[in-house]
Amino acid sequence: MEVERSMQEQLDILQEQVKQQEKMASLGMLSAGIAHEIQNPLNFVINFSKMSGTLLKDLLDLIEENSSKFSTEEQDEIEDIIADLKDNLGKIGEHGERAISIIRGILLYSRGKDDEFIPTDICKLVKEYVWLSYHAMRANYKNFNITIRESYQEDIPVQFVIPQDLSRGVLNVMNNACYAVWKKSQTADSSYSPVISVRVALQQDELVITITDNGEGMTDEVKQKLFKSFFTTKPIGEGTGLGMSITRSIIEEKHHGHIEFDSVWGEYTTFSFLIPVRK
């Protein structure tokens, strides 16, 4: 009887995990569709900001030609307004281009063929998915806020990776880091400041991606079961228990690299992806 009950419990957990995976797959397709639809209006925003900048320049030339018709106070006020408009248009263009870049990345990674190695700006990929995880966490957990410290080596050439898979690995580890610092913040005193550090660098012939959090850390039991399928420390419905097993498959089997981790219960957790450079 006990065996039957245990088997039924495992079956129930498995069914719940499959449901979660189906939801994630549907969400991925939906996200790609939304990204595609948002891209067009964003292009209009960027193009019209550029056109407005040109018109503003023409207006400034016209004002300078007729400067004698304005008092000194009026001319100073006009110059201040034009300077503010230039600044605003610059910010619209800058953030519009940033949004377009993120959308293009999402579309690229979602449309990539299975196991296809594509030349990729690794720092850009990691940064986008680190912040995607952060904003998703803020949307799901009230008052969630952390400090993210980033260190990206500047001279890293494009690397041949499977971007839609590597981005999933980064997202999985970053999601866990966010959850760890959030969980610790629920019981820590007011002096606790949640911090996640992200580093991307080339070391000899390896690409190294490291994510460290000062969250609740891992017990010895969790460390031993970390990469087991369907193992999770999160409540039912919040974690599939597949994230780290999938991540290990992505790094070790698909990219022929390896994962290193270190953790002290109550203090920190560090994960590093070490991926050999493809030449």
Which of 13-22, 139-148, 173-182 ranks highest by mean pLDDT?
A: 173-182
Between the alpha carbon of residue 88 and those of residues 52, 70, 98, the distances in Å are 11, 25, 15
The mean pLDDT value for 46-53 works out to 82
Give the per-residue pLDDT at 153.
Answer: 95
Please report the sign of the dihedral spanned by the C-alpha atoms of residue 124, residue 243, residue 133, residue 18. Answer: positive
For residue 24, the Cα-to-chain-centroid distance in whole angstroms is 16
The mean pLDDT value for 234-243 works out to 56
Element counts in the chain: helices (H) and strands (E): 6, 7
Percent of the chain with pLDDT over 90: 29
Q: Give, as one character, the DSSP assignment of residue 105.
A: H
> Coil, strand or helix: which one is 243?
helix
Amino acid 209 reads: I
Between CA 212 and CA 198 the distance in angstroms is: 7
**Mean pLDDT of all residues belonging to the chain:** 81
Between CA 174 and CA 176 the distance in angstroms is: 5
DSSP 57-72: HHHHHHHHHTGGGS-H
Between the alpha carbon of residue 192 and those of residues 182, 183, 184, 186, 234, the distances in Å are 11, 12, 9, 10, 22
Contact 215, 192 (CB under 8 A): no
The mean pLDDT value for 127-137 works out to 86
Prediction pTM value: 0.63
Domain boundaries, the chain: 2-109, 116-276
Give the per-residue pLDDT at 192.
Answer: 93
Determine which helix (DSSP H) or strand (DSSP E) holds 115, and give its type and residue range. none
Work out the angle between the directed axes of helices 163-185 and 122-140 (0-180°, nearest 10).
Answer: 40
Between CA 87 and CA 233 the distance in angstroms is: 48
Contact 239, 233 (CB under 8 A): yes
Local confidence band at 64 (pLDDT 50, 70, 90 cut-offs): confident
- pLDDT higher than 80, residue 101: no
**CATH superfamily, with its number, for domain 116-276:** Histidine kinase-like ATPase, C-terminal domain (3.30.565.10)
Local confidence band at 43 (pLDDT 50, 70, 90 cut-offs): confident
Question: How far separated are the first and last CA of the chain, in Å rounded?
Answer: 58
Between CA 258 and CA 172 the distance in angstroms is: 16
Local confidence band at 22 (pLDDT 50, 70, 90 cut-offs): low
The tokens describing 119, both together, are 């030349």
Percent of the chain with pLDDT over 70: 75
Q: Which residues contact 223 (CB under 8 A, 6 or more apart)?
A: 261, 263
Contact 192, 184 (CB under 8 A): yes
Contact 118, 112 (CB under 8 A): yes
Give the per-residue pLDDT at 213.
Answer: 95
Local confidence band at 138 (pLDDT 50, 70, 90 cut-offs): confident
Between CA 246 and CA 248 the distance in angstroms is: 5
- Residue-wise pLDDT for 196-224, tens only, equals 999 999 998 899 999 999 999 888 888 78
